[in-house]
Amino acid sequence: MKQKWGREDDAGGLSERPGGMEYRGRSGVALLSVFAIAGLSLHARVDTAQRHYLLTYAGTPVAGAFRTDAPYTLLMVVTRKGARLALDNK
C-alpha cells in the first residue's frame, strides 16, 4: 500500500503569486484608506466657507469648457449690521 505524503493540491490556502483575490482585496482596502485619511485631513484643515466653495472651485474649469454664460452664487453672511460677502478673516 502506497501512502501519499504532503498536502493535497486542492487544500486551499493563500496563493504564492500576487493576483489572487487576497491581493486585490488588500489593495482595495489600502486605496480606500488613503482616500479616507486624505479626506479627514482636508476636513480638519479647512473652515466652513472653504468646504462650501470646494466643489464649485473644483468644477469651475469643467463648467467653463461647456458653458460660456451661466448664473453663479456667492455665499453671503448676515450679521446684526447687515449682509456682506463671506470672507476669510483669519
The pLDDT, as a whole number, for residue 15 is: 56
pLDDT surpassing 70 at residue 81? yes
Has this prediction a pTM greater than 0.75?
no
The pLDDT, as a whole number, for residue 50 is: 79
pLDDT surpassing 80 at residue 40? yes
Residue type, 60: T
Helix (H) or strand (E) holding 42: helix 21-45
pLDDT surpassing 90 at residue 34? yes
DSSP label at 12? -
Under a CB-based contact definition with an 8 Å cutoff, are residues 76 and 83 in contact? yes
